[in-house]
């Protein structure tokens, strides 16, 4: 009996030692238990009115992915006031651009990034054919997605300067155009804007009209982020994780090129006007802006913040809370990235 007890004591000692060494990594691979949603009816705000940007949420509803997670409804709201809505509680989640979102956080607005959304950005800029040099833009309408000092403007103006088009040497009429890039390019083609940013799907129509592309660079810089407020996350942790699970499943469908006709038909049935440019999103590389895992990569975010004029950017963990994304990854067996 003494000999047998000694053996068991040795076994227990070795087991305890093994757990002490491997405990953290074992925990990461163990099944994730997620409770029921605390809020079954949620709203998601997004600024871009185009079909492609909003498609994941409509796919999630149509395929029943959000219903599977326990949601009674997931309503999508198109608004220019995403950050304000999330901070104020009229929106539960929101898709918003990086620069102004981080600025709001630094000013004390209680927001947190919970996932990436559009994880890289094409810096594509075109000028009308009659504009031969930067001097010809004096007094002309220029659309860089913001005003001088705005983070989008700073990043795009910096790339223009590198290309020999330094806007700081002239007095252009900087305009901010409501709506998405399709509307901006339409105004550009009509001659009402003389320099604009665009996406890959717009390049054929721009060049067919004889206009010039000045900058055509894909940067590994995130553009849009998925947000929630600190208070909402504290009260609704299961809701956050399950919303991300449903959106991740929808991303797999939307970002598969063979699903093109399904996605376009779905968006048309939901009242979206799918333009010829939208129809090219599967062929012209627009899907490459997104990642199926919705990762938020620290290196790319910090590079964008510096390019956007943040001389002393905040720490990554000061602006993000990726706990819910990692829980969603583990529960769906999606490899974790940082």
- Domain ranges for the chain: 41-120+222-332, 121-219
Q: What is the mean pLDDT of residues 271-287?
A: 74
Determine the CATH number of domain 41-120+222-332: 3.40.190.10
Model pLDDT, residue 29:
41
Q: Where are the alpha helices (DSSP H) in 30-113?
A: 51-62, 65-68, 82-88, 98-106
Residue 277: pLDDT above 70?
no
Model pLDDT, residue 136:
97
In this structure, what DSSP letter does residue 144 have?
S
Query: 137 or 273: whose pLDDT is higher?
Result: 137
The verdict on domain 121-219 having CATH code 3.40.50.300 is no
Q: Are 124 and 181 in contact (CB under 8 A)?
A: no
Q: Which two tokens stand for residue 136?
A: 């010809």
Q: What is the mean pLDDT of residues 309-331?
A: 93
* Sign of the CA dihedral with 312 first, then 323, 61, and 286 last: positive
* Separation CA 107–CA 103 (nearest Å): 6
* Separation CA 52–CA 185 (nearest Å): 16
Q: For 117, list phi and psi in degrees, rounded to 5.
A: -135, -80
Model pLDDT, residue 284:
59
* Separation CA 23–CA 16 (nearest Å): 10
pTM of the model: 0.78
Residue 78: pLDDT above 80?
yes
Q: Which burial class, exposed, middle or buried, applies to 299 when counting CB atoms under 10 A from its CB (0-12, 13-18, 19+)?
A: exposed
* Separation CA 4–CA 85 (nearest Å): 66
Residue 295: pLDDT above 90?
yes
Query: What are the angstrom distances between the C-alpha of 99 and each of 117, 157, 284, 306?
Result: 14, 14, 26, 10
Model pLDDT, residue 146:
82
Q: Which two tokens stand for residue 184?
A: 């901006």
| Cβ density class 164-182: b for 16+ within 10 Å, e for less | ebebeebebebbebeebbb
Q: Which two tokens stand for residue 245?
A: 């699970």
Please determine whether the domains at 41-120+222-332 and 121-219 fall in the same fold group of CATH: yes
Model confidence at 31, pLDDT cuts 50, 70, 90, reads low
- 297 Cβ contact partners less than 8 Å away, ≥ 6 residues apart: 116, 119, 220, 222, 337, 338
């Amino acid at each position: 009996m003494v000999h047998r007890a000694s053996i068991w004591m040795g076994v227990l000692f070795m087991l305890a030692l093994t757990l002490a060494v491997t405990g953290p990594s074992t925990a990461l691979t163990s099944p994730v238990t997620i409770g029921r949603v605390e809020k079954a009816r949620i709203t998601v705000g997004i600024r871009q009115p185009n079909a492609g940007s909003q498609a994941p949420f409509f796919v999630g509803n149509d395929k029943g992915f959000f219903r599977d997670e326990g949601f009674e409804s997931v309503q999508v709201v198109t608004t220019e006031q995403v950050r304000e809505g999330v901070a104020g509680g009229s929106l539960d989640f929101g898709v918003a651009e990086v620069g102004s979102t981080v600025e709001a956080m630094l000013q004390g607005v209680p927001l947190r990034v919970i996932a990436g959304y559009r994880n890289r950005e094409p810096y594509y800029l075109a000028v009308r054919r009659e504009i031969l040099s930067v001097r010809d833009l004096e007094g002309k309408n220029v659309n860089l997605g913001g005003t001088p000092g705005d983070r989008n403007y700073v990043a795009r103006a910096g790339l223009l300067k590198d290309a020999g088009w330094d806007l700081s040497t002239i007095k252009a009429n900087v305009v901010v155009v409501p709506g998405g890039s399709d509307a901006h390019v339409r105004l550009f083609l009509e001659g009402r804007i003389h320099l604009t940013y665009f996406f890959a799907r717009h390049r054929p129509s721009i060049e067919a009209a004889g206009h010039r592309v000045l900058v055509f660079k894909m940067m590994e810089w995130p553009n849009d982020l998925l947000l929630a407020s600190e208070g909402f996350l504290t009260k609704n942790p299961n809701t956050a994780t399950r919303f991300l699970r449903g959106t991740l499943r929808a991303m797999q469908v939307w970002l598969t090129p063979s699903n093109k006709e399904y996605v376009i038909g779905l968006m048309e049935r939901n009242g979206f006007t799918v333009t010829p440019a939208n129809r090219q999103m599967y062929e012209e590389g627009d899907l490459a802006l997104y990642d199926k895992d919705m990762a938020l990569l620290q290196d790319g975010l910090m590079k964008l913040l510096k390019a956007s004029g943040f001389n002393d950017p905040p720490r990554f963990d000061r602006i993000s809370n990726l706990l819910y994304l990692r829980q969603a990854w583990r529960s769906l067996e999606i490899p974790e990235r940082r």
